[in-house]
Amino acid sequence: MVEYIGKNHVLFFFYPKDFTFVCPSELHAFQAKLADFEARGCKVVACSTDTEESHWAWLNTPKFSGGIQRVTYPIVADTTKMISDTYGVLAGEYNYYMDGKFVANGPMIVYRGLFLIDKEEKVMHQLVNNLPLGRNVDEALRMVDALPFFEENGEVCPANWTKGDQGMTASFQGVLNTFR
Reported as half-sphere exposure (CB side, CA atoms, 13 A), residue 73 has a value of: 24
CATH code given to domain 9-135? 3.40.30.10
Residue 71 has pLDDT above 70, yes or no: yes
pLDDT, position 63: 96
pLDDT, position 174: 52
Strands (E), 8-150: 9-14, 42-48, 75-77, 90-91, 94-96, 102-104, 109-110, 112-117, 123-129
**Alpha carbon distance 54, 57 (integer Å):** 5
> Using one digit for the tens of pLDDT, what is the confidence trace for 40-63?
999 999 999 999 999 999 999 999
Indicate which residue of 23, 42, 47, 157 is catalytic.
23
**Catalytic residue flag (residue 47):** no
pLDDT, position 176: 47
Q: What is the mean pLDDT of the chain?
A: 90
pTM: 0.88
Domain chopping of the chain, boundaries = 9-135
Which of 28-42, 49-63, 159-173 shows the lowest per-residue confidence on average (mean pLDDT)? 159-173
Percent of the chain at pLDDT > 90 equals 74
pLDDT, position 68: 98
